[in-house]
Amino acid sequence: MLELAFMQRAFAAATVIGVVCAALGFFVVLRRLAFIGVGISHSAIGGVAIGVVAGLPPLATGAVFAVAVALGIGAVGRRGVLSEDAVIGVFFSGSMALGVVLFSVQRGYQQDLFGYLFGDVLAISGGELATLAVGGLAVATALALAFRPLFFIAFDEEIAQAYGQPVGALNTALLVLLALTIVIGVRLVGAILVEALLVIPAASAALWATSWRAQIAISTGLGAASGVLGLVLAYWLDLAAGASIVLVSAGLFFASLGLRRRAAG
């Protein structure tokens, strides 16, 4: 299996996206941003479709569109006119519908749409892997630099603001990082499944960790393990790679939940 070049690229890509999603997932779980992640991930399809129809790099247009949607959700949500989940629902459904309509004007759109919805990590090229690595490193670096203030405002925004933290800018930065990470993962596991990698490893880690450092370490370890084990399972059983990665991650969560309950009992 490891002698195949496409499998080598797939393992590297799955490990990178697993680690990056799991690290950011610490804040997604802590701040309860899972539904926002769902909205952004599905909205990215609209941006990808714009790129396909316009002849532009789909992931680049997807990134711009996803960031715009993330900022829009944040801006409208802060005004308090509508509940945040209602705002997310509007952006989610509207952007997804835009993507489907734009894909439908292309010949063979069903195959393209399926690929972006569910990903194709086994088809990733060397250039795409390099782009993924650079993007993942950029997100991880930005997250590391902003970690302490983001951690501060996660517990109490009012106190953080009183201490001079730019709460609004930090919240916006977190949404932008979330959007970029989702777009990075779209090529591998698809818009529908990438949200799982942002939530499940971090949720599993929360069952075991007694400190935030341990939670991040366990989360990133589980994210990388899910990518590797999912690809092995997909290779040997001839299954969809992206879905196999998510199923392994979900399996680790339920195993953790069961072991946690047994230990508590």
Average pLDDT, the chain: 85
Q: Is the pLDDT of residue 260 over 90?
A: no
Amino acid 205: pLDDT:
93
Local structure of residue 188 (DSSP, 8 states): H
Q: Is residue 82 part of a domain?
A: yes
Q: Is residue 169 part of a domain?
A: yes
Q: Is residue 139 part of a domain?
A: yes
Mean pLDDT computed over 106-113: 66
Q: Is the pLDDT of residue 110 over 90?
A: no
**18: closest CA among 199, 176, 207?**
199
Q: Is residue 206 part of a domain?
A: no
**96: closest CA among 41, 45, 51, 39?**
45
Amino acid 203: pLDDT:
93
**Residue ranges making up the domain that contains 45:** 5-191
Q: Contact 222/25 with Cβ under 8 angstroms?
A: no
Q: Is the pLDDT of residue 65 over 80?
A: yes
Q: Is the pLDDT of residue 113 over 80?
A: no
Amino acid 124: pLDDT:
84
CATH number at residue 58: 1.10.3470.10
With bands split at pLDDT 50, 70 and 90, how would you rate the model's confidence at 264? low
With bands split at pLDDT 50, 70 and 90, how would you rate the model's confidence at 232? very high
Q: Is residue 220 part of a domain?
A: no
Q: Is residue 261 part of a domain?
A: no
Q: Is residue 197 part of a domain?
A: no
With bands split at pLDDT 50, 70 and 90, how would you rate the model's confidence at 37? confident
Mean pLDDT computed over 60-81: 80
Q: What percent of the chain has pLDDT over 90?
A: 26
Q: Contact 241/121 with Cβ under 8 angstroms?
A: yes
Q: Which positions ≥6 away from 215 have C-beta within 8 Å?
A: 26, 202, 205, 206, 209
pLDDT digits (tens, 9 = 90+) for 181-216: 888 888 777 877 788 889 999 999 999 888 888 999
Q: Is the pLDDT of residue 5 over 70?
A: yes
Name the domain count of the chain: 1
Distance of CA 186 to the CA centre of its chain: 8
Q: Is the pLDDT of residue 141 over 90?
A: yes
Between CA 63 and CA 48 the distance in angstroms is 8
Amino acid 265: pLDDT:
60
Q: Which positions ≥6 away from 159 have C-beta within 8 Å?
A: none
- Tally of helices (H runs) and strands (E runs) in the chain: 12, 0
With bands split at pLDDT 50, 70 and 90, how would you rate the model's confidence at 126? confident
Q: Is the pLDDT of residue 108 over 70?
A: no
Q: Is residue 226 part of a domain?
A: no
Mean pLDDT computed over 63-83: 78
pLDDT digits (tens, 9 = 90+) for 149-171: 998 888 888 888 888 888 888 88
Amino acid 70: pLDDT:
84
**28: closest CA among 197, 218, 258?**
197
- Look up residue 168 and give its two tokens: 């609004």
